[in-house]
A and B are shown apart, each in its own frame.
Chain A
Amino acid sequence: MRPRTMYEKIWDAHVVHEAPGQPALIYVDRHLVHEGTSPQAFAGLKTAGRKVRRPELTFAVMDHSVPTKDRHLPILDKDAASQFEALARNCRETGVRLFDMHSGNQGIVHIIGPELGITQPGQTIVCGDSHTSTHGAFGTLAFGIGTSEIEHVLATQCLSQFRSKTMHILVHGERKSGVTAKDIILHIIGELGVDAGSGYVFEYGGKAIRALSMEGRMTVCNMSIEGGARAGMAAPDDTTFAYMEGRPFVPRGKDFQQAVQQWKSIASDPGAVYDKTVEFDAGKIAPQVTWGTNPGMVTDVTGRVPDPSQISDPDEHKAVIRALEYMGLRPGTPIVEISLDRVFIGSCTNSRIEDLRAAAQVADGKRVARTIKQAMVVPGSRVVKAQAEKEGLDKIFTDAGFDWRDAGCSMCIGMNPDVLPSGERCASTSNRNFEGRQGKGGRTHLVSPIMAAAAAIAGHFVDIREWGVEATE
């Protein structure tokens, strides 16, 4: 048999029907839903008189619109309250398992899937959310789908899909201290551009990817969509299996050993052919800070805000002028001279326990700058929150002047009470710096958790490498 990529192996194992010139029908192993994009899908199903084919393969959670404090109080936002009611009702009527906002296992959908062991190597996973690519860190084919497709999966447990092309992204070498998984992926997107992955699935490999923890790999895969790829994946290995062992939905004992043997066969075969290969040297990557209005508008912390007059491409020239105007930045400003109003540590990109440990290491014994109006830490799940509290991280954060919140999407998305006010500037560990993403008129700079924590303390961006912080994910 000819050598195959991981993507091809997973694809081949899930084909239900394939005919020339048509999209294939692909079986979906795990379907994750949240309150934001599912109500119309359940309603459409009902109108058409169709049933959920395999309710036990779908998991629902409330994350996008949930408040991150005072959750015992009634929900004031009527639209959000009706989303929660609709999801609870839809789950009740169809038998789909639900982690509601009061569940001890509630959290951001892409945090809890891996955390509970719902996510397993070799699976196909879909969710009505573009950051579903996160789960690819376990060697799964995972991607975001629209509401019509959610309805399709509910009805058929399948999706109609065309094959993607594959891009092998190799990151060689070793990260320098203070450089994280977030910096790796921001650097890759900055180099390749935000639409380079259109039509592709990314497979990340190379020594620097293998050296990352699962949390770090999830951060990298999470932002594949910001490079235009619907899915990003990394081969499962001993790091993956060690992370998975003992999680609630993962097999035990002999069954686990058997599963591991099977999971090991998922990695791409030696000699497998990719449609494209790109290579990076991790040793040359510096901490990254975005200055513009898409994640590809990014530079080293030692860099400066670009000067549009030096850009010859007319479209890029226009885009940079527009971005700087929205961001309220002057050309040539050193990144470390950009002052901030708020700091947000959270989101499906960077709210796992390792992210919080790293940020706490920076914040320990220090104080948030007086000029910062708010610095918040939002754990990705209630399990992460409980673990952090067990380790005393919450105390480190609150002593330093950070808000310690309940789990949810929070200020990454501005669909809940946590919104970035217009004109304010925020260092954020999230994934998107689009206009209005964190709130209308809000100005977002994407950074790693340690860079965000340091910015909160200094009041402006700093090169975390100068603070002597050990490399973390």
Chain B
Amino acid sequence: MIPKQFCKLLTREGYGRLLFYDWRYLDGEKPNPDFVLNWPRYRGASILLARTNFGCGSSREHAPWGVLDYGFRVVIAPSFGDIFYNNCFKNGILPVTLSDAQVDDLFERAEQREGYRLTADLPSQTLADEIGLNLSFEIDPFRKMVLLKGLDDIGLSLQHEAEIDAYEARRKPSVTMYDPVDVKVSKTAK
């Protein structure tokens, strides 16, 4: 989704231009007219329709950063790579899993009508268009709540700080180096 030569940036922003880079551009970053996202009818799209095992492989969050920065808020596919699926929620993207037949139907609808509009409604867990489609989709209730409220994962977990303290007091997780190794450790370290 984002070729690795672009994964060396130190920020979370600016990956929209790089999304699907090798497919989207010809040499010299000229838009490839054969690539679907470059077709005028799909300009400004905010829902990405995809196929099986979308986002498989890497743990790199550059992929969802690119999806979001490009302008997509929803990704629909028959299945997702686990890590990508997880990373979507951390970035305010809604991944929707539908059956193969449902995804086929959506592809057909989008291909047949220029300017096709699809609405994803997370509170009611439905997808609807202007020509009679009305589908419901499954999503874990906790993940739905986190997306809708825009909650900060770390903040949520830190509500359980006392339990983390208790776990550490009980299990005493630690590291001991028995033989020296060639490692740098700052003096500020505990």
Contacts and interface: CB of A to CB of B under 8 A. Distances in A.
Nearest to B155: A48
A39 B10 contact: yes
A92 to B, nearest CB: 5
Contacts of B90: 146, 148-149
A198 interface: yes
A-B pairs, 9 with minimum CB distance:
A95-B189, A144-B59, A79-B8, A148-B90, A248-B179, A104-B182, A146-B87, A195-B53, A147-B61
Contacts, number: 206
Contacts of A86: 10
5 contacts: A98-B184, A99-B182, A144-B83, A226-B57, A413-B4
A56 B190 contact: yes
Interface residues on A, range: 35 or more
Given A22-B142, A248-B177, A156 B8 contact: no
A151 B154 contact: yes
Contacts of B158: 155-156
Contacts of B189: 55-56, 95-97
Interface in B24-77: 51-53, 56-61, 64
Interface in A23-69: 23, 25, 27, 29-30, 36-37, 39-40, 43-44, 48, 50, 53-57, 59, 65
A23 B8 contact: no
A174 interface: no
Contacts of A471: none
Contact of A91 (B8, B60, B184): B184
B6 to A, nearest CB: 9
A57 B175 contact: yes
A152 B157 contact: yes
Interface in A77-94: 77, 79-80, 82-83, 86, 88, 91-94
A249 B59 contact: no
B170 to A, nearest CB: 10
Given A83-B10, A436-B22, A440-B22, A148 B4 contact: no
B5 A415 contact: yes
B56 A194 contact: yes
Given A151-B154, A195-B53, A415-B4, 12 more contacts: A13-B171, A21-B141, A23-B142, A27-B167, A27-B168, A40-B12, A54-B173, A57-B174, A93-B186, A97-B183, A144-B83, A440-B22
Contacts of A251: 176, 178
B68 to A, nearest CB: 12
B157 A21 contact: no
A443 interface: no
Nearest to B80: A198
Interface string A311-334: 000010000000000000000000
A443 B187 CA distance: 47
